[in-house]
Amino acid sequence: MISPALTDAMGRWLDHERALNGAARNTLTAYQADVLGFLGFMQAHHAEAQGLAAIARVTVSDMRAWMAHERGRGLSARSLARALSAVKSFYRWLAEREGFEPTAVLSTRAPRLKPRLPRPLDEEAAARMLETVELQSREPWVAARDVAVVTLLWGCGLRISEALSLTGAQLPLPETLRISGKGGKERLVPVLPAARKAVSDYVRLCPHAMDPGLPLFRGVRGGALGPRPIQKAMEMARMQLGLPSTATPHAMRHSFATHLLSAGGDLRAIQELLGHASLSTTQTYTAVDAARLMEIYDRAHPRA
């Protein structure tokens, strides 16, 4: 059982993360689940209710026991690292307000993570994906909508949430879009003629009014389009094309980055276009490009 005071503290911490750090709703939900899971373990571990006094007494041994328990129930190193990050954030915030020493929690090291490379599509596969997505709906305007969204992901490097947040006020699409990304960070993204045409074709066929204050992309009933219909259209297309399960909407964004890099694009410029806060995040695409070159080399020079 978690005390009312601790429940209230968690709520205020989540409000702080939303207001000051711009945390998205899904991020806040994940934070809450991670911290509640941690507190639930501590309650069972010590056989006592968790209040402000109890969590202030957490030791290094307690932290090790929690991490061992999480790994023992099959939690991946990446998921555990995320949970630990949420717990540390909560403890750091709470310790400043309650005046206790959080070193035992903050000094806990996250498990080592194996770098996870993006899984982009090559240019031919990305083009075939676009062509095949168009065939997944019998409704011409829905087909045009799905093509327009996927074109924005591949042609502009948008996240699907960013594409779906566009409104009628941005029509007709200009040559450069101002996009508000993660944490409210804004960036300017060039819009290719192919992307502008795809959106224009969709708008021409869409039966719903394109008012400035309404979402640009609509569901069949006229409401705001969610990510699931686009994910489903791509799932059906990739099965027809024999592409792996990694051929998702986000893979089109990865493809945008790797294709630019392959064409000689500057890493700093790609960072700006993607809206990455850190260059190290963008540098993962250099590893992808190197891996692709090694595959080509291996095919051209097979081992004896």
* Catalytic residue, candidates 182, 187, 208, 292: 182
Does the active-site annotation cover 253? yes
Active site residue 285: yes
Mean pLDDT on 152-177: 88
pLDDT in tens, 176-185: 888 877 767 7
Give the tens place of pLDDT for each residue, 195-218: 899 999 999 999 999 999 999 999
Find the catalytic residue in 145, 218, 259, 276: 276
Which of 71, 82, 250, 292 is labelled catalytic? 250
* pLDDT tens track for 24-68: 788 889 899 999 999 889 888 888 877 888 888 889 999 999 999
When comparing pLDDT for 247 and 302, which is higher? Answer: 247
- 250 given a catalytic annotation: yes
Catalytic, out of 159, 218, 238, 259? 159
pLDDT of residue 251: 83
Residue 12: what pLDDT? 92
- Domains of the chain by range and CATH? 4-106 (1.10.150.130), 123-300 (1.10.443.10)
- The percent of residues in the chain predicted with pLDDT above 70, rounded, is 82
Model confidence, pTM = 0.57
- Taking only the tens place, the pLDDT of each residue in 60-112 is 999 999 999 998 888 888 888 889 999 999 999 999 988 888 898 999 888 87
Is 221 catalytic? The answer is: no
Q: Given 31, 91, 202, 285, which residue is catalytic?
A: 285
Does 288 score more than 60 pLDDT? no
CA 82 vs. chain centroid, Å, equals 13
Percent of the chain past pLDDT 90, that is, above it, reads 36
Q: Which of 145, 196, 238, 253 is catalytic?
A: 253
Mean per-residue pLDDT, 155-173? 89
